[in-house]
Amino acid sequence: MIRFENVGLRYGMGPEVLRDLTFSIEPQSFQFLTGPSGAGKTSLLRLLFLSMRPTRGLISVFGKDTTKLAKAELPSMRRRIGVVFQDFRLLDHLTTYENVALPHRVAGKSESEYRPDVIDLLKWVGLGDRMHVLPPVLSGGEKQRAAIARALITRPEVLLADEPTGNVDPPLARRLLRLFIELNRLGTSVVIATHDFHLLEQIEARHLILNDGRLAVHV
């Protein structure tokens, strides 16, 4: 599904922040991406959701070499990847419902097509009664669930989550993790970037450990 071969990344003329990364994300797999702060987790996630191109090496996403992707192909590729940001990135002037419906809206669907799906998903993540609320009054956990719902609404093949439990208390972190597991069970590949050891201990899953820009894989 996603394949990295000897991938390196540097910003400008600086040192390489990611070095010789070789791994793959398989269909319906579940993995944690972990490592100390500054190890390059966010940079790796940015490569994964096509926000950046590598300095060297090969990245293949859904069978296509990203270096050969035309700009016009990027949106359709990104729609197959759901992203949950550490800082949620909800649009403050849109309601929870509108934020979650955004991926459908940009895909040109009419509201009558996606409305039932959005409502069902919001209920599923426990935000059924917060649909018309603007993000500034949502709690950290609610924002996190809204961001997750937005990433899932189009049923992406891969879900990337950057520190999804970084802003929530342990009980809510466990609930969010159960949500990710359920998604994975329904067929979505999940990559969770975290350095929350409690979260890592919750389930048995593949660990991608980044340290000083290099990757070690523990199955």
Partner 1 sequence: MTGAKRATVKARRPDGARAATPKKKAKRPVKKATRPKSSNLRFSLREKTAPIVPPQAISGQALMLVVAIMSFLACLTVGFVAIVNDAANDWTNDLVREVTVQIRPADGVNMLLEIDRTLALVREFPGVGDARALSDEETKGLLQPWLGEGLELEELPIPRLVLVEISDPELLDLPAMKNQIEQDIRAASVDDHRVWNRQLSAMANTAVLAGFGILVLVLFSMVLSVIFATQAAMSGNKDVVEVLHFVGAEIGFIASEFQRHFLWLGLKGGIFGGMMAALSFLIIGFFGGGDISSVSGNQVQALFGSAQVSAIGYLGIVAVVVLVAVLTALTSRLAVHRHLGNMD
* Binding to partner 1, residues 35-74 (CB under 8 A): 49, 51, 71-72, 74
CB of 148 to partner 1, least distance (A): 10
Site membership for partner 1, residue 215 (CB under 8 A): no
Binding residues for partner 1, how many (CB under 8 A)? 73
Based on the shown chain and the rule CB under 8 A, indicate whether residue 184 belongs to the binding site for partner 1: yes
Q: Which amino acid is at 32?
A: F
Beta carbon of residue 219, minimum distance to partner 1 (angstroms, whole number): 7
How far is it between the farthest Cα atoms of the chain? Answer: 50
In the list 6, 24, 55, 211, the residue contacting partner 1 (rule: CB under 8 A) is 24
Task: Give the C-alpha distances (Å, rounded to integers) separating 133 from 56, 128, 153, 174.
Answer: 44, 11, 18, 24
Radius of gyration of the chain (CA): 17
Which residues, including other chains, have CB under 8 Å from residue 45's CB and lie 6 or more apart? 33, 83, 160, 162, 191, 193
Residue 6 within binding range of partner 1, rule CB under 8 A = no
Distances (CA, A) of 176 to 111, 140, 144, 171, 219: 27, 12, 9, 9, 22
Q: Which of 6, 28, 55, 67 binds partner 1 (CB under 8 A)?
A: 28
Strand order in the sheet with 56-61: 16-25, 2-10, 56-61, 64-65
Give the interface segment with partner 1, choosing from 11-19, 29-37, 55-63 (CB under 8 A): 29-37
Q: Which is nearer to partner 1, 13 or 129 (CB)?
A: 129
Compute the C-alpha angle 35/40/42, nearest 5°.
100
CB of 15 vs partner 1, minimal distance in Å? 25
- Letters for 99-138 (x = contact with partner 1 by CB under 8 A, - = none) are --xxx-xxxx--x---x---x----xxx-xx-xxxx-xx-
Q: Which is nearer to partner 1, 9 or 98 (CB)?
A: 98
> Minimal distance in Å, beta carbon 90 to partner 1?
8
8 versus 126: smaller Cβ distance to partner 1: 126
Question: For residue 192, which amino acid is it?
Answer: I
